[in-house]
Structures are given as structure tokens and as C-alpha cells.
A and B are shown apart, each in its own frame.
Chain A
């Protein structure tokens, strides 16, 4: 009886130790990029999650990506206390993808009737998604109309139904402003104003409203129509980014050898819009931008504009040029040699001593932001799903509309160490890792057997 009690006590001690460790878990992240350690911004956002928030990941839980996602979500769960996560295997339940309007690898965050789709289970995406989920109100993205802009309800190749759906999935409301409404003043409730491919000029009154908006904590996204850059230029020039006439030509690095559709994979900026972007992007019929700043691509502080800072986000390849006139091929003197800037971000709040703070419970930085892309086609239905286009456009909106909490959140690069595998190395790997250890073990066994026989 005493022995049974002793065993029972031993088992109870083991169970208690597990319970204690479970409730007070301590982890040591040995990864070089500390991939499984949440940044303070993420912990802060996770703590603000409402009760019964769920994260549903559309990946097989046993896959490598699924396991990594689980480790990351465990950290959020521990930081939050309000989050519960689960996995749905897209291969065994393809209907769930259709029902939720998601693709494999995406995740859905839900709290009550609020729902946000997260592109991938990375810290940056999940924290960003959580922030959208806990916002007091939905962010509203307003698209201007009446100047030949692309429209949100046009399902054709040049329309924007694809990006409108992506915006809704990401937790934004995309609305079209009635034509002419800009002239009557700053549109109420608009967090971001978008001019998507204007081909006819804004009236002086409308342009003044946009200028006023940008001067008063406004966020504006200008997507240029490469064939008619004038209307966009009028909006962006006062903010240090000119959009000259002409298209970027790249006969070498382009989509299906169409020189008018450059493929861009150079993002010379730490700006959050491109900081986590690893994919190339396609820029059909894109204009070149001219920010006229001090660094290699024209970025940096704009002289005589106070705290205005222009970040060069994306540049075309060195084989490209900005075609400014007629004629086939590059014309020395007339055309501008590449790389050509095709996307720029203007921020009027980055320089520390020029930050303006408003009284509130927490100091809050006022940010005025303008994002300029050389082509609206990047976001059009025909191209938005190519390579990293959708990701870039959505990250652009996120940067424009984001709460301050995410500004310091840095994307953690996943950089697996690669082995250059030659045929000789493949053979060596098999010899060294299959035959050598087994031979050593067998040799030892044979030696022992021989010893025993003697």
C-alpha cells in the first residue's frame, strides 16, 4: 500500500511539474534571426486582442510551413491569452477555402463579426492583421472618380475589382467617391485617398483639396497612367515627386519579352512598403518618377521642404531606360538611362526633431504620406495577381493606413543556408552520412562478435 502511494505521489509530482511548465513556459530561441521571438510591437498588439479571437490557418498542421506557423502562433497565444488557433488542411477540405475566400497558406483572424485575412503566417503579417482586427473602426480607402480613373466595379483587364476584393479581405472598405465630390472639400471618413490612373486633369479646386489633405495628416496614393502622366504629376509635384512624360522600356528584364512591361526586383529602401517584399513585380506601361533628391535614385530629404522625405521604393533594371521621345531603341541625349525610379514614398514625419506631437494620452506622431506608383496597371485585374504585385499594392495601403504601432515592426528575413549540390557532392553526402556511420557501427559489432568467439 505504501509503495502504491509512493508511486501515486511520484506521478502527481510529474503531472504538477508539467502543469507548472505549461503555465510558465520559458523558451530560448536559437535561430539566428530570432524567428520565434515576438517583437515588442507584436506583443503589445496581441495583448489588445479581444476575448475569443481565433486564428484559422489554411495549411496542413503537419507540413513544415504549418509547424512553423504553429510555433509562431503559440507565441501570440502566450502573449495574448485571448487567442486560439486551429489549422484547416486545404487538401482535405477544399470547400473551406471557397467558403472563406482564401488560398492555401493564408489565415483568417476573427473576433466576433470582424474578420481579417492574413496573407501568410509571418510575424509582420499576423501582427498587421491583428491590428486591423482591433481597430475601433474599419479603415476606409476612397477612390477618386471623374478623371478617367480605373474603377472598382470594372471586372475587365484594366479594372480594379481584384484589388478591391483584396482590400476587403485585408480589412479595408474600398469606396468610390462620386465624381466632382472632391471639389466640395476633404472627403469625410476617408483614411486614404486613391487616384488610380487619372487621365484628365483635376480642377484647381480639387487639386487644392488634395494638397490641403496632404498637409493635414492625409494619406494619398497616386497610381499613374503611363500614357497620360500630366494629371498625376500635378498632384505629386508639390511633394517633390515629378512624373515626366514617357514610358520605361526594358528589353532585357521584362514580362514575356514585352519591353513595355519591365520586371522589377530592386527595392532600394528600408521603407515598410518594400522591406519584406522578396518577389519581383511587373510594371506594365510604367512612367518613370523624378524625385530630384540627393541619393543615387533621387531619394532622401527634399531640400527646402522641411521634414519631407522621399524614399525610392522600386527601380527598374540597368538595362532599362525612360523613353521620352519617339525612335526605336535608346537615344543618347533624349532618353534617360536606367535604372529608372518607378515607385516612391513621401513621408513628412520621419525626421525626429521635426515631429509634431499632439496632446493625447500617448504621444502620437502626425504623419502625412504620399505613395506614388509609376503605373496603375500594376494593380489592374490583368496584372495584380502576377508575381508580387498584389503584395506590393496591399503593403502600400497598409503603410498609408497603418496605426503607429506597426511602424517599427521589422520583417524577419528567412534565409535558409543553401548547399550548392554538384554530382560529386551528392555522392559524398550518401557515402559520409549513410555508409560511414553504419559501417562504423557494423565494424564495432563484428569486432565484438570476434572477441566473444575468442
Chain B
């Protein structure tokens, strides 16, 4: 007897696994990942050499800006290339629903991002070899960066659903992410306590602050998860309308 929903989960998992394999084997994922790792490593080494402090906080703060193009680049092909080549029709002619396809593609890209984050493990090793940093703030920084990246990837998948061109998807993704990245700065110019607070809350950046200092916050976690869920759902909605 099958458990209700188990079939959907299996389908999503299969699509995610296929997307992850595709990113790894295409070579393009590796090149994009390598570029990001160079930039990320540079930021980390500069923060440690500059301050002499064994902490991931400055890295988590600085690396956000490079997560925007990384997410857009990793996600640009997820749905755009399938639409361009027409393979999306093959997907949907099989018993796969649009939301399963979009969710699977998103989770596969997210898994690839998790692999890239795992490759930053030498940062932690370096810090713990030569100093005695508290584990809590490092765990918080990683959770925060992962959630930020997960949110950014969801926007990238949405942008990829709106077009058949990967380049357009990449630029579109970066454009949307840039708006959400700077929304808190915009709030300072608009003024007015209500508008300011809403814009501040809507921005991607402030929600990472607590994490990177080692303070986990339910509010910020819910924000990132719901942000990602919104854009993945929006991607499914748009894709359904385009087909």
C-alpha cells in the first residue's frame, strides 16, 4: 500500500537528483562554482588577515553580494533551457506535474549550492587549527548563508521560468535579487515608520544579520523559507501559464 504523497516526493527527488547530476556533469556548474569559491575564499582570507579575528561573521556579511550572481547563474538554465529545447513538453507529457518539475529543479540546484558551501569547510578548519573560535556563531553564519542562497536560487528559478533565454533569465534573476538586496537601503530614503519597516522587513539582507552573529531567529528563518517558497510557487504559476 503506498503512502499518499509518497509518489510526489519520489518524483521530486528524482528530478532533483537529475538536476544535481546535470549541474555537476555539465562542467558549467563547476566553473561557476569555482569562480564563486575564489571570490568567497578571497573575502574570507581578507577578513581574517585584516582583522586577525577567528570568525566567519565578516565573510557571511560580505559574501551575500556574490550569492546574487551565483544563484542567477546556477538557476538560469533550470527551466529556460528546457523550454528552449522543448524537452519541457516531454517532462509534462509524462505523469509529472508542473509544481513537481519546478520544485525538483529548485531542490537539485539547492543541493549543488550545498555542495559548494561544503567546499568552504577549509575556512572552519583554518580557524580551528590556529585559534579557538566559538562554534555557535560559525554554525549560525553557515545556516544564514545557506538560507540566503536558498532564497536567491528560488528567484533564479522564477526568472528561468519566465523566458527561453538563459542569458535573459540570468540578468532577470540578478535584477530581481538586486531590488530585494537593496530594499532596506531604499527604506531609509522613503521615510515614514510604516513604509520603512515593511521595506526593511521585505529586504533579504537584514534577516541574515542575526544568523551571522550567532543568534538564530525563528522570524528570519520563516522569512527565508517563505521567500523561497513564494518564488518557487510563482515559477510554477508562470510556467503553467506559458505552456
Contact = CB atoms under 8 A, between A and B. Distances in A.
Nearest to B55: A416
Contact of B116 (A17, A439, A441): A441
B131 A417 contact: yes
A419 B130 CA distance: 6
Interface in B109-158: 116, 119-120, 122-123, 125-127, 130-137, 139-140
Contacts of B28: 445
Contacts of A7: 233, 237
A421 interface: yes
A148 B127 CA distance: 58
Contacts of B173: none
A448 B226 contact: no
A114 B233 CA distance: 51
Given A27-B216, A419-B52, A444 B30 contact: yes
Contacts of A266: none
Interface in B75-118: 116
B10 interface: no
A451 B37 CA distance: 23
Interface string B55-69: 101100100000000
Nearest to B200: A61
A18 B223 contact: yes
Contacts of B54: 416-419
B38 A434 contact: yes
A387 B43 CA distance: 33
Contacts of A70: 209
Contact of A27 (B25, B52, B218): B218
A29 B226 CA distance: 23
A442 B31 contact: yes
B37 A441 contact: yes
Interface residues of A, number: 57
Interface stretch (A171-179, A396-404, A422-430): A422-430
B123 A433 contact: yes
B218 A25 contact: yes
A428 B25 contact: no
Given A29-B214, A419-B54, A18 B226 contact: yes
Contact of B119 (A29, A71, A440): A440
B48, B120, B215 — most chain A CB neighbours (10 Å): B215
B24 A448 contact: yes
B45 A434 contact: yes
A35 B27 CA distance: 44
Interface string A68-81: 10110000000000
A420 B131 CA distance: 8
Given A432-B125, A437-B122, A32 B134 contact: yes
A34 B94 CA distance: 53
B172 interface: no
A31 B222 contact: no
A36 B213 CA distance: 9
A433 B27 contact: no
Given A18-B223, A27-B218, A67-B209, A421 B29 contact: no
A318 interface: no
A439 B34 CA distance: 7
Contact of A429 (B45, B57, B201): B45
Interface string B5-18: 00000000000000
Contact of B136 (A3, A25, A32, A439): A32
Contact of B213 (A26, A67, A432): A67
Contact of A418 (B131, B135, B226): B131
A92 to B, nearest CB: 10
A3 B45 contact: no
Contacts of B44: 433
Contacts of A84: 193
A50 B211 CA distance: 31
A21 B221 CA distance: 9
B186 interface: no
Contact of B30 (A27, A434, A445): A445
Interface in A93-130: none
A227 interface: no
Contacts of A32: 134, 136
Contact of B133 (A417, A425, A446): A417
A436 B125 CA distance: 13
A36 B123 contact: no
B243 to A, nearest CB: 13
A311 to B, nearest CB: 31
A14 B53 contact: no
A17 B229 CA distance: 12
Nearest to B139: A30
A383 to B, nearest CB: 31
A212 B8 CA distance: 84
B102 to A, nearest CB: 13
Contacts of A429: 45, 48-49, 126
Contacts of B24: 444, 448
Contacts of B27: 445-446, 448-449, 452
A10 B226 CA distance: 10
A68 B213 contact: yes
Contact of B230 (A11, A418, A426, A448): A11
Given A10-B229, A64-B61, 7 more contacts: A14-B226, A31-B137, A36-B214, A430-B45, A438-B34, A441-B37, A444-B30
5 contacts: A11-B233, A441-B30, A441-B34, A442-B30, A445-B34
Interface of B: 24-31, 33-35, 37-38, 40-42, 44-45, 48-49, 52-55, 57-58, 61, 116, 119-120, 122-123, 125-127, 130-137, 139-140, 193, 201, 209-210, 213-219, 221-223, 226, 229-230, 233, 237, 240
Interface of A: 3, 7, 10-11, 14-15, 17-18, 20-22, 24-32, 35-36, 64, 67-68, 70-71, 84, 416-421, 425-426, 428-430, 432-442, 444-446, 448-449, 451-452
Closest 3 CB pairs of A and B: A445-B30, A30-B136, A434-B41
